Structure 1
């Protein structure tokens, strides 16, 4: 009986430590999300009705590009930064989720980070990543950054992502 109780105690302790390791999204005093978010966070009010559903449901990605993207996205991880207060984030984040859903992306490979108006989080999750504008979607392959989408697409979100994950030359909207 002591071994069982000790085992339960160890599991609970490890579980609590694992849950506090990452900063989960919370609302700041202005009603904006800050921290690590999931799609479910955007499916709550006020985000769902104000901008997420409209942006997600109204966007019709190019099916040929999605077909090309699907196998390539299986090999990447994404670290995305957005602000629920930011018009560009409100436009591009639902589109990103639409594309990821259409390609059966594994959401274990996505870290969506909501930043405040200073583009920071309380735990400095943005530190060292040169986040100047949001949204910024950073794509990694084998732990190395392969490219980033910044604020708005050059062609379309899915075409820009395809260029990044295909290894083709790509400059985001603020690169010359």
Structure 2
């Protein structure tokens, strides 16, 4: 049983980190992603293994699809927010925009994304200032939303002020999502898990 757990753990780490893994994304989906009036669609899915994955721009409504709602709703409901740190975050989020890159296929994303949404709900963050991008196993989208963003692992949560990146949380927090967000937004020294 211990061997099986180690093998499964190693497989999950490789799945969320490896850019060599090939997903079953139809390269022609980019044509379907843009509507006739050139507005971006959100929450589009493509086939993935025995189910689907979200690919491209998305929002929390996408997580209520049958393929995702169990892990999202359970993760959201069961997460206990650090209320003390959330109170400190509230004023710091005022002029912030956030971009989240995640993969619905990735266990790290499935764990952290519902927690992140619960935290921003507790802070009263204006969700119109949040961009959610769902990526393939190669960390790509048909529209190239990831280009120039150095997305190597997911989830990657990037915090901006006046269009300047303040910092990012990559794959998992160092202390906790709330404390890592506070460190980034308060200007403290912070290095994400893959920083050199």
**Larger helix proportion of the pair:** 1
TM range (shorter): 0.7 to 0.9
* Aligned counterpart in structure 2 of residue 45 of structure 1, from 66, 91, 94: 66
2:160 pairs with 1:149:
no
The superposition leaves residues 100-130 of structure 1 with CA deviations (integer Å, 9 ceiling, x where unpaired) of: 0001110110000000111100000000000
Aligned partners of 2:133 and 2:184: how far apart in 1? Answer: 20
| Counterpart for residue 22 of structure 1 | 40
Q: Structure 2: 5+ residue runs without aligned partners?
A: 1-35
Please give the alpha-carbon distance, in whole angstroms, between the structure 1 residues aligned to 2:67 and 2:135: 17
Counterpart contact for 1:23–1:123, Cα < 8 Å: no
Residue 24 of structure 1: how far off its partner (Å)? 2.2
1:46, CA displacement in angstroms? 1.7
TM-score between both structures, scaled by the size of structure 2? 0.78
The one of 117, 128, 153 equivalent to 2:148 is 128
Partner of 2:100 in structure 1? 80
What TM-score do the two structures reach when normalised by structure 1?
Answer: 0.87
Per the TM alignment, residue 43 of structure 1 is displaced from its structure 2 partner at its CA by: 1.9
| RMSD (CA atoms) | 1.4
Q: Shift of the alpha carbon at 1:23?
A: 4.7
Structure 1 gaps, min length 5: 1-15
Matched residue pairs, number?
159
